[in-house]
Amino acid sequence: MTSFCHTDPAAKIGENVTLGFGVRIYGNVEIGDNCQIGDFCVIGHPSLKPDCAPLKLGAGAVIRSHAVIYEGSDIGPHLETGHHVVIREGAQIGENLRLGNYSDIEGACHIGDFVRMHSYAHVGRGSQIGDFVWLFSLTTLMNDPLPPSHISEPVTIGDMATVCVNVQLMPGTVIGRGAMIASGAVAHGQIPPAVIISGTDGEVAGPVHFLMHMASRTRHPWHKHFADAYPERARDRIAALGAEIDAEAADL
């Protein structure tokens, strides 16, 4: 461990954990083995909620500088963050989330395995995100249909969905598995599986298999050409889930 850190003696820290300069680790924390925590990170930031559960940070995490992760979340192995990210209390996060620079996950979210979020993604409180989901930069998941109010209608995103750059997901949106929300779209309501949503009206533009890169002849859905970007242990899951989504879309 590096000097100039403040680690509460009550924290439970695994083997081979490395800490950068100026890290603060609070007591209500359990850190798995082989984690790397960068400069000026805050791990287990106290919640305003009383009797909060401990932060459980899975093995093999790579947390880059200036990240703040609150107590009360349960995070699976191999978390990877960019710089200046925030994860609030009550998040349930699966294996190998990648969270880009300046992104934030608000409280009480459920996020599946192998989710990818690029920079400046905002995940509103209570959001439900499946496995193998992509959220590209400047994506916003809203949860208040009448802001400001005490009403909460979080967004739900199905497995293998892709949400492109600068998309706004309105409160209560439910995105079907394998759907794609095109760049700049405003999505709302119930979105069927394996369709393309485009425009500020969030209209269905067709099935995802209409999407093709003409020069390379690469066609969506992405699980047929991009599974090699994931760890080998995930590829059988991708193939099986992709087949389920394809069958579901064929029945529409």
pLDDT (tens digit, 0 to 9) for every residue of the chain, 252 residues total?
A: 456 899 999 999 999 999 999 999 999 999 999 999 999 999 999 998 888 999 999 999 999 999 999 999 999 999 999 999 999 999 999 999 999 999 999 989 999 999 999 999 999 999 999 999 999 999 999 999 999 999 999 999 999 999 999 999 999 999 999 999 999 999 999 999 999 999 999 999 999 999 999 999 998 999 999 999 999 999 999 999 999 998 887 776
Last residue of a domain, one of 44, 59, 90: 90
Q: What are residue 93's DSSP bridge partners? A: 75, 111
**Same structural domain, 32 and 115:** no
Type of residue at 59:
A
Q: Are residues 4 and 46 in the same domain?
A: yes
Q: How many domains, in total, are found in the chain?
A: 2
Domain annotation covers residue 100: no
Tell whether 86 and 110 lie within a shared domain.
no
Of 58, 90, 122, which residue sits at a domain end? Answer: 90
Exposure string for 199-227, b = 16+ CB within 10 A, e = fewer: eeebeeeebbeebeeeeeeeebbbbeeeb
Neighbours of 15 (CB within 10 A): 9
Residues 35 and 125 grouped into a single domain: no
245 and 138 in a common domain: yes
User: Is 96 among the domain residues?
Assistant: no
Q: What pLDDT score does 51 carry?
A: 87
- Are 39 and 160 within one domain? no
Q: Of the candidates 37, 60, 90, which is a domain's last residue?
A: 90
What predicted TM-score, i.e. pTM, was given to this entire model? 0.95
- For residue 197, being part of any structural domain is answered with yes
Task: Check whether residue 207 and residue 177 sit in a common domain.
Answer: yes
Residues 70 and 121 in one domain: no
Domain membership flag for residue 125: yes
Contact 1, 7 (CB under 8 A): yes
Structural domain boundaries, residue 158:
106-252
Q: Are residues 124 and 74 in the same domain?
A: no
Inside any domain, residue 101: no
pLDDT the model gives residue 106: 95
CATH code, domain with 74: 2.160.10.10
Q: How far is CA 250 from CA 110, 177, 207, 246, 247, in A?
A: 28, 13, 10, 6, 5
Q: Is 141 inside any structural domain? A: yes
**Shared-domain flag, residues 206 and 234:** yes
Domain for residue 99, yes or no? Answer: no
Q: Are residues 227 and 111 in the same domain?
A: yes
Give the count of alpha carbons within 13 A of 26, CB side only: 17
Contact 184, 166 (CB under 8 A): yes
Position 171 in a domain: yes
**Same-domain pairing of 53 and 156:** no
Nearest to 73, CA basis, from 123, 109, 37: 109
Determine the pLDDT at residue 49.
84
Q: Is 176 exposed, middle or buried (0-12, 13-18, 19+ CB in 10 A)?
A: buried
Helices of type H across 10-93: none
Report the helix count and the strand count for the chain, using DSSP H and E: 1, 33
